[in-house]
Amino acid sequence: MANKTAKIVRFHSLGGPEVLKISEEPIPEPGKGEVRLRVKAIGLNRAEVMFRCGQYLEAPVLPSKLGYEAAGVVEAVGPDVDKSWLGEKASTVPAFLMTQYGVYGDVAIVPASALARYPEKLTPEQGTSIWMQYLTAYGALITHAQITNGDFVIITASSSSVGIAAIEMVKAEGAISIATTRTSKKSATLVEAGAAHVIATEEEDFIGRVNQITGGKGARVIFDPIAGKGVEVLAQAAAHGGTIFEYGALASGPTPFPLFAALSKGLSVRGYTLREVLSVPKLREKAEQYVFAHVQAGRFKPRIDRVFPFAEIVEAHRYMESNAQIGKIVVTV
């Protein structure tokens, strides 16, 4: 007889990885506009760490679920959802709020509108490792910056899954990536992923290297999830008329506005989130088609750093907080 309970991860208080608890709950039924996914793999994101700590864009309502990305098979649909989804393999696009949905579990209720089919050749582990990272990079680099042949693009925190996606995307568009990482330990892997240049910021003169690489012009586009004081240094590395896209807040402490660099160079410092792409249906469709086509053609290769079993969700979060990974951390169910 089929199991009547599901394993769901919730946290009852804010804090470190240890607040994540796996509980047995009755299998939930999808409501209007929803489906139930039988989860095979979960892709972890930094946003979930921040959400768990109470440092995200939305505050969790406790006890809270969490998780944006899962791949699996649709096993039930809500009353108004197209029944052709039943039995289909799909992964979730992060087109919902974690205050309403979460995918950490062996089943997940998600909006049908958040489902996307991934290329048939991918495993569930790879299928859960494409949408957040490639769509995040796409919105900033393609939709907004419209990077093109010969553009210099600085990518900070470049060993993250979004950083690797950005490296591949810059290369695919004929632009030149300058990937940053703190030490040279990850440099060879970043070059292997397609980075044209790598700067180890704790070991090298960052501004000096950027000037050398760009012939003194600086980078037209800077893609940064760190923020904090480092924005002032990034502004020095930017080209005249350049744009710094801030898509995260990994640094502690306030983020100053680099006024003098902005005045002298006509710089834009722009807050950006993936929601800008996902909230406009035509943009989202175009973005998903672009990612699908590049993954299908093998130009984009989702890089999985490490896979954890579901029972080790706490350890998986701990590993993410160590910043040792290059690429995506995946949990299999």
Is the model's pLDDT at 1 over the cut of 50? no
Is the model's pLDDT at 94 over the cut of 70? yes
Q: Domain spans of the chain?
A: 5-129+304-332, 132-274
Q: Which is more confident, 311 or 253?
A: 311
- Distance, CA of 117 to CA of 89 (rounded, Å): 7
Query: In this structure, what token pair is assigned to residue 217?
Result: 């012009």
Q: What's the average model confidence in pLDDT over 21-43?
A: 98
Q: What's the average model confidence in pLDDT over 171-200?
A: 97
- Express each pLDDT in 139-166 by its tens digit: 999 999 999 999 999 999 999 999 999 9
Is the model's pLDDT at 111 over the cut of 60? yes
Please tell me the predicted confidence (pLDDT) of residue 3: 74
- Work out the burial of residue 119: count CB atoms within 10 Å of its CB; fewer than 13 is exposed, 13-18 middle, 19 or more buried: middle
Please tell me the predicted confidence (pLDDT) of residue 2: 60
Q: What's the average model confidence in pLDDT over 13-25?
A: 98
What is the residue-averaged pLDDT of the chain? 97
Q: What's the average model confidence in pLDDT over 253-265?
A: 97
Is the model's pLDDT at 236 over the cut of 70? yes
- Work out the burial of residue 121: count CB atoms within 10 Å of its CB; fewer than 13 is exposed, 13-18 middle, 19 or more buried: exposed
DSSP assignments along 154-203, one per residue: EESSTTBHHHHHHHHHHHHTT-EEEEEESSGGGHHHHHHTT-SEEEETTT
* pTM score of the predicted model: 0.96
- Express each pLDDT in 306-330 by its tens digit: 999 999 999 999 999 999 999 999 9
**% of the chain at pLDDT higher than 90:** 98
- Phi and psi at residue 309, in whole multiples of 5°? -75, 155
- Phi and psi at residue 301, in whole multiples of 5°? -125, 105
Cα 248 to chain center, whole Å? 10
132-274: CATH, from 3.90.45.10, 3.40.50.720, 3.30.70.20, 3.40.30.10: 3.40.50.720
Q: What's the average model confidence in pLDDT over 275-303?
A: 97
5-129+304-332: CATH, from 3.40.50.300, 3.90.180.10, 3.40.50.970, 1.10.10.60: 3.90.180.10
Please tell me the predicted confidence (pLDDT) of residue 65: 98
The dihedral built from the CA positions of residue 94, 125, 24 and 316, taken in this order, carries a sign that is negative
- Distance, CA of 296 to CA of 115 (rounded, Å): 18
- Distance, CA of 172 to CA of 152 (rounded, Å): 13
DSSP assignments along 198-249, one per residue: EEETTTS-HHHHHHHHHTTS-EEEEEES--TTHHHHHHHHEEEEEEEEE---
